[in-house]
Amino acid sequence: MSDDESVEAILPGPVRLARRMGEVGTWVMRDPLRLGEVADVISLAGGLPAGETLPAVEIGEAVTQVVTSRQAVTALQYSSAEGLPELRAWIADRASVDRGRPVDPGQVVVTAGGLQGLDVIARVLLDPGDLVAVEEPVFPGSLHCLEMYQPEFLAVPVDDDGMDVSALAERLAGGLRPKLVYTVATFHNPTGVTLSASRRRELADLAERFEFMVVEDEPYTALRFRGDPLHPVAAYSDNVITIGSFSKTLGPGLRAGWVVVPPAFAGAVGRAKRWSDLHTSTLLQYTLVTLLGRDGWFDAHLARLPAVYGQRCTALRDAVARYLPGVLEVNDPAGGLFVWGRVVAGLSADDLLDAAIRAGVSYVCGPQFAVHNPDPATLRMSFAGNSPQRLELAARRLADAATTVLGR
């Protein structure tokens, strides 16, 4: 019985789920269902930031400062759907630097994480049947969020330089007209690749020429551990909406993010946000304003992250090369939380997963990130949540699993 059938079975009388729910997939990462079978499973599956990078003490101090100040009662009241002016101004200032031109605080709407930002944008812009171009592979959470608004999807392939913008251009030249193009341009989830500078400019040019909006989702940008930062797509065009988030830098449990939209959309996005949840937590926003207002604190915090993630990425890649030659190849991202792998020994990632979990390691199979064309040889591994020593052990366990499956 499917999840939807289970729910329908307990609904009263003739009540049934909305038709849209039959069109929305469920992302069920297979490994958590079986982790109870083996003690001490090293998970390379989840996209969680490293716990030791999350500033719990500082956040606690900021909360205490807010609730013991004259702002305490205000922080526990309703507030604006768009967000506190001080927080919107801080976000706008950062966006102005990134884009190289002024961003007005009125273009910023504070959200409960990045995914709500995508939901609000889709609510404002999409009608059933509209065409949305997405990268393939794609983060399933984003895909299913968009599916709620019943668009059609155009899958654009991803290579080592990010979205294949030339392939998108060919489809546009052939007459397709997307309303939105969704991209995780920097340290893409799941592949970890980054959209090249030339492709960013080309995508911006296409957006203006063919009059679509680029939705540039940027949750991982601060996690660069190699190379120089690139200008966002939004630096090259006003036909870009940026989604940002504190989830990977301050903690996903905060549920704090934002969108930066063109001025013409700001009112509609604010209204859609209001009727979604009235407003993002006022207490949370005052806490962020207090924390981010400490001179130089946020940039100093960000400066500590690359060493952690760079060391762990290198540890996992080196261990895979050492223990799984001829079995698994992984790419070499310059930041983010993930490596994208390909099984090269004639077996699928799914074939290997059962034995991997029995050996005490898990990952996510690539087909779970597919739009139309699943690739059974691919897989995603996150290096973020484990020490270098645990990552080496994970690769050894995965090698044991491969030996079992291949009968070597």
pLDDT tens digits for 348-386? 999 999 999 999 999 999 999 999 999 999 999 999 999
pLDDT of residue 18: 79
363 secondary structure, DSSP code: -
- Tell me which of 37 and 353 has the higher pLDDT: 353
Q: By mean pLDDT, which of 1-5, 104-108, 255-259 is the weakest?
A: 1-5
| Residues 335, 186 contacting (CB under 8 angstroms) | yes
C-alpha atoms less than 13 angstroms from C-alpha of 197 in its C-beta half-sphere: 5
Sign of CA dihedral 100, 256, 253, 192: negative
DSSP helix/strand/coil, 372 = coil
pLDDT score of 284 more than 70: yes
Q: How many residues does the chain have?
A: 408
Please compute the mean of the pLDDT values over residues 300-323 and round it to a whole number. Answer: 98
The percent of the chain in helix, strand and coil, each rounded to the nearest 5, is: 50, 15, 35
pLDDT of residue 35: 46
Please compute the mean of the pLDDT values over residues 67-93 and round it to a whole number. Answer: 97
pLDDT score of 12 more than 90: no
pLDDT score of 1 more than 50: no
**Mean predicted lDDT score pLDDT of the chain:** 93
Domains of the chain, first to last = 3-54+304-406 (3.90.1150.10), 57-296 (3.40.640.10)
- Tell me which of 78 and 6 has the higher pLDDT: 78
> What's the chain's Rg over C-alpha atoms?
22
- List CB contacts of 159: < 8 A, sequence separation 6 or more: 193
